[in-house]
């Protein structure tokens, strides 16, 4: 797929929580470098959200390992724009 923007828009991923990767997993959208443990918790707990996002590409997130690790949040969001911090790393 050359342009994932329509997938992001259809699934409530606002531009300010957008990242480089978008996946649809069992009814949820996963945006960016979300740790597998957080996805597993999402699928186990099944909260009433559209999905999870890690905005940008923070150093130390999965796939962004390197010389440093920056703190980052995994944000749960719904299609109406409501958000909360799902996990802190």
pLDDT of 45 > 90? The answer is yes
Predicted TM-score (pTM) of this structure? 0.91
What tokens appear for 41 in the block?
Answer: 């918790």
What are 46-57's pLDDT values in tens digits? 999 999 999 988
The region of weakest confidence among 2-16, 20-34, 36-50 is 2-16
Mean pLDDT of 65-78: 93
Mean pLDDT of 17-44: 95
* Predicted local confidence at residue 3, as pLDDT: 86
CA angle 47, 81, 56 (to 5 degrees): 90
């Amino acid at each position: 797929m050359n342009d994932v923007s329509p997938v992001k828009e259809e699934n409530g991923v606002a531009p300010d929580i957008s990242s480089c990767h978008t996946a649809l997993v069992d009814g949820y959208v996963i945006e960016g470098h979300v740790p597998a443990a957080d996805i597993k918790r999402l699928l186990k707990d099944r909260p009433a959200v559209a999905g999870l996002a890690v905005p940008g590409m923070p150093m130390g997130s999965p796939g962004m390992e390197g010389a440093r690790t920056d703190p980052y949040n995994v944000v749960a969001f719904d299609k109406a724009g409501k958000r909360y911090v799902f996990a802190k790393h």
